[in-house]
């Protein structure tokens, strides 16, 4: 099993903002803007809210109205989904080539993380980013176990629900290495982590968000003898053992950080264990009822 720790959602470069941790504690990953998209932020639902509503409150000066909804992990995000719809994630260009070269295929697992900041309700009753959390943190917000890979059009009948996916709708514009990874129908499937929890927070407390503090299960990813166990992180100086934890100074480049889950079973099982914990619980239904 190949595992990609995949950076997704708005950030300081694309969208110029963090995704919010809402006052109710829910993680609300906001996809990056994409002016050619048919999907508007006002079309994407998050509980009783739309992402346009949330963006307007947190970043009212933004002119972005259209979204690149990818990864697309929640059936409830858009209305009128086809019955056969399954979660999917597309990648292309150099990042797509990296996944291909690393052997990402059926059975692989994407772990999606992004930049999040806490929010609060102001004295005036408005939703705003919390000034006590200026830099925020990298948090894992979702996953997708690969059950099918689509790399050509026209689509096979069993994946025809992908026709509105941006990596199909704009297949030619995406260029080379364009592939869509579709969720499995059994096993881990795909879904979202509902709330912030210590087990899925990557950033070390009170440190820049690129400074991660990982469980000891990730110790085997520290490169030894020049072997790069986690792609883009082959420099051993980026790693440090500290009081039973693993510190990692992540690179600023790259969207997909890949490792071999069979070679590193403890790191693989760390993610799988927390995914299964979410799957075993009743779905969290939250209205995100801020004023």
Q: Give the least confident one: 85-89, 146-150, 226-230.
A: 226-230
- Can you tell me the mean pLDDT for 204-219? 94
3-state secondary structure 195-222: ECCHHHECECCCCCCCEEEECHHHHHHC
Determine the Cα–Cα distance for residues 249 and 202; give it in Å rounded to an integer: 11
The pLDDT value recorded for residue 41 is 97
Determine the Cα–Cα distance for residues 169 and 152; give it in Å rounded to an integer: 12
From the CB of residue 104, how many other CB atoms can be counted at a distance below 10 Å?
24
User: What does the buried/exposed string (b/e) look like for 239-273 if buried means 16 or more CB atoms within 10 Å of the residue's CB?
Assistant: beeeeebbbbbbeeebbbbbbbbeebeebbebbbe
Q: Please determine, for residue 75, whether its predicted confidence score (pLDDT) is greater than 90.
A: yes
The pLDDT value recorded for residue 291 is 60
**H helix runs in 219-264, sequence order:** none
Q: What is the separation of C-alpha 78 from the centre of its chain, rounded to a whole number of angstroms?
A: 18
pLDDT band of residue 195 (cuts 50, 70, 90) is very high
Phi, psi for 42 (deg, rounded to 5): -70, -15
Q: Please determine, for residue 113, whether its predicted confidence score (pLDDT) is greater than 70.
A: yes
The pLDDT value recorded for residue 228 is 86
pLDDT band of residue 125 (cuts 50, 70, 90) is confident
Residues with Cβ within 8 Å of 142's Cβ and at least 6 positions away in sequence, in order, are 29, 71, 73, 112, 190, 191, 192, 193
Q: Please determine, for residue 3, whether its predicted confidence score (pLDDT) is greater than 90.
A: yes
Instruction: Walk across the sheet containing 211-214 and list its strands.
Output: 211-214, 245-249, 239-242
The pLDDT value recorded for residue 254 is 80
The pLDDT mean for the chain works out to 94
pLDDT digits (tens, 9 = 90+) for 12-29: 999 999 999 999 999 999
Residues with Cβ within 8 Å of 26's Cβ and at least 6 positions away in sequence, in order, are 46, 47, 194, 195, 284, 286, 288
- Can you tell me the mean pLDDT for 165-192? 93
Residues with Cβ within 8 Å of 213's Cβ and at least 6 positions away in sequence, in order, are 202, 203, 204, 205, 207, 242, 245, 246, 247, 248
pLDDT digits (tens, 9 = 90+) for 139-175: 999 999 999 999 999 999 999 999 999 999 988 888 8
Phi, psi for 273 (deg, rounded to 5): -60, -45
For every residue of 172-197, DSSP letters joined together read: HHH-TT-EEEEEPSSTT-EEE--B--
**Beta-bridge mates of residue 213:** 247
3-state secondary structure 124-168: CCCEEECCCCCCCEEEEEEEEEEEEEECCCCCCHHHHHHHHCHHH
* Residue-range domain boundaries for the chain: 2-279
């Amino acid at each position: 099993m190949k595992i990609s720790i995949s950076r997704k959602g708005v950030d300081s470069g694309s969208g110029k903002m963090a995704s919010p941790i809402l006052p109710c504690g829910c993680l609300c990953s906001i996809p990056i803007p994409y002016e050619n998209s048919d999907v508007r932020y006002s079309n994407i639902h998050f509980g009783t809210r739309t992402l346009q509503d949330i963006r307007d409150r947190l970043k009212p000066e933004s002119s972005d109205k259209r979204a690149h909804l990818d990864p697309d992990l929640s059936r409830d995000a858009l209305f009128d989904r086809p019955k056969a719809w399954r979660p999917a994630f597309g990648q292309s260009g150099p990042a797509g080539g990296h996944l291909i070269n690393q052997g990402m295929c059926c059975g692989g697992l994407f772990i999606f993380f992004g930049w999040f900041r806490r929010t609060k309700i102001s004295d005036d009753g408005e939703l705003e980013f919390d000034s006590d959390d200026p830099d925020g943190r990298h948090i894992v917000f979702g996953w997708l176990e690969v059950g099918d890979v689509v790399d050509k059009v026209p689509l096979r009948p069993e994946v025809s629900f992908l026709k509105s996916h941006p990596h199909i709708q704009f297949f030619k514009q995406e260029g080379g290495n364009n592939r869509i990874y579709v969720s499995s129908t059994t096993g881990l499937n795909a879904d979202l982590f509902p709330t912030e929890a210590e087990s899925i927070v990557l950033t070390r407390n009170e440190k820049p968000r690129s400074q991660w503090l990982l469980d000891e299960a990730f110790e085997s990813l520290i490169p030894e003898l020049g072997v790069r166990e986690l792609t883009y992180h082959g420099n051993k100086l980026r790693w440090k053992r500290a009081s039973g934890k693993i510190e990692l100074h992540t690179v600023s480049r790259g969207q997909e950080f890949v490792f071999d889950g069979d070679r590193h079973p403890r790191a693989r099982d760390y993610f799988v264990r927390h995914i299964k914990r979410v799957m075993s619980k009743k779905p969290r239904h939250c209205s995100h009822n801020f004023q």
